Structure 1
Amino acid sequence: MKKTLKTISGFAMVTLLLMGACQEKPKESKDEEPMEETEVLVTPKQIISIDQADSLFVNYKRRRANSIQKFEMGLQDEGDKPFEPTQFVTFNLEVVKNYIAYVEQEAYKAGTTVDSLRLYLGNYGNTEKGWKKKRRNTVFIVPAAEAEDGYGGIYIGEDGKAKLIRNLFNGGQEGEPRQKASLLPSFNTSLYNGGSLILNRGDAGPPPFGDF
């Protein structure tokens, strides 16, 4: 009988201990860090409405794209596909993020701070026969900052310092006439490829169906 009572008492104690353990709240891990609140960004004042964007697109098509198409069709060889003017350029978001980070890094090492990006319009010209981007318009991005004796688009010189692109031209001062209608001179281009911070090679073409 005593043995039976001891067994029952032991079983009851174990049951109570288990029930107490189940009611305990799990302890927070010391390694767990409180979740940071995501910063809520204010809408940039430069955001435009979809209607405004559509108006810009239509204006470009009427006032520019149609004229470009007419001009290029007059230069096509017989049997070529109809020329379609470029109406947008796409850069992958990660490419843009990495580009901005890279430009900021290189400018800092060169002793300046990039505070804006200039989007230039360009054209690939009638080069590289059969290339899908031949004669198509494009954009390229130039970082701008204080450098040397003024402000403007920059590149990194051989001395590691930020230089003004415009000073590569004859004259060098903004607004002065240039002998050649080009952004960079034709001499020793390998130097400027090494110090260039200019982004290009985006995907371009007519607008995807359904955008505008």
Structure 2
Amino acid sequence: MKNFGLLILGIIIGALAMYFYCCRDVEAVTEVEINKPNGLITPKEARTLDEAYNIKYSVINDSLFKKSTTGDNRSSWWSIDDIQNYINYAENQAGELGYTMDGLRLYLGSYPGTKGETGLTTMFFIPTGSESVAQGSLFTLPQGSNDIPGANGLNLGEDGHPPGANYPQ
């Protein structure tokens, strides 16, 4: 009976220790430092950029997409999960290819035309970085942030609603 009492006491002390240990870690995880990224723009600046694009969009849309019922795309949308998963995937792939990923480049592209219609505009991400070099190398020069050869990109964001809609949607 004495051993059983010690067993129960040990379980209680262990449970309390785990409770305090787990709660302390949860609080530490929730304290995330938020850094302001370079290049932030205000909604007013975004509207100005969007309106300045109207002339180019009109030329492209009116000349190439006269017969289209939707017009050309002006925006693409990806979920946060898709972008975070892509960043993790691209960093892993960059490492396998011998590169250190340092960013993403967003390209404007176009799908090939089919059945006499011009293909719609798309946007896609490509990972950028530099070749990984040995830490002890004497002659290492920074190579800049180039597209990583052989790395997969991220496409298939959703079109705007409608595709030609201006900012904000």
Same-fold call, TM cutoff 0.5: yes
Q: 1:52 maps to what in 2? A: 45
Q: 1:101 maps to what in 2? A: 88
Determine the C-alpha separation between the residues in 1 that align with 2:82 and 2:91.
14
Q: Is 1:68 matched up with 2:52?
A: no
TM-score under structure 2 length normalisation: 0.68
Determine the C-alpha separation between the residues in 2 that align with 1:210 and 1:116.
25
The one-letter code sitting in structure 1 at the alignment partner of 2:129 is A
Identity of aligned residues (%): 25
Q: 2:120 maps to what in 1? A: 136
Q: 1:85 maps to what in 2? A: 72
Moved over 4 A (4+): 207-210
Determine the C-alpha separation between the residues in 2 that align with 1:55 and 1:115.
29
Greater RCO (Cα-Cα under 8 Å, separation 6 or more): 2
Unaligned runs of 5+ in 1: 1-26, 157-195
> Which residue among 78, 100, 122 is the counterpart of 1:113?
100
> For the aligned residues, what is the CA RMSD?
3.1
For residues 160-199 of structure 1, what are the alpha-carbon distances to aligned partners after superposition, in whole Å with 9 as ceiling and x for unaligned?
A: xxxxxxxxxxxxxxxxxxxxxxxxxxxxxxxxxxxx4111
Q: How many residues align?
A: 139
SS of the residue corresponding to residue 56 of structure 2 reads helix
Q: 1:155 maps to what in 2? A: 149
Q: 2:153 maps to what in 1? A: 198
The one-letter code sitting in structure 2 at the alignment partner of 1:154 is I
TM-score under structure 1 length normalisation: 0.56
The Cα of 1:70 is off from its aligned counterpart by: 0.9
Q: In 2 relative to 1, CA 71–125 (structure 1 residues): closer, same or farther, beyond 3 Å?
A: farther
Q: Decide whether the 8 Å contact of 2:74 with 2:165 is kept in 1.
A: no
Q: 1:41 maps to what in 2? A: 34
SS of the residue corresponding to residue 18 of structure 2 reads coil
Q: Decide whether the 8 Å contact of 2:50 with 2:166 is kept in 1.
A: no
Q: In 2 relative to 1, CA 211–96 (structure 1 residues): closer, same or farther, beyond 3 Å?
A: same
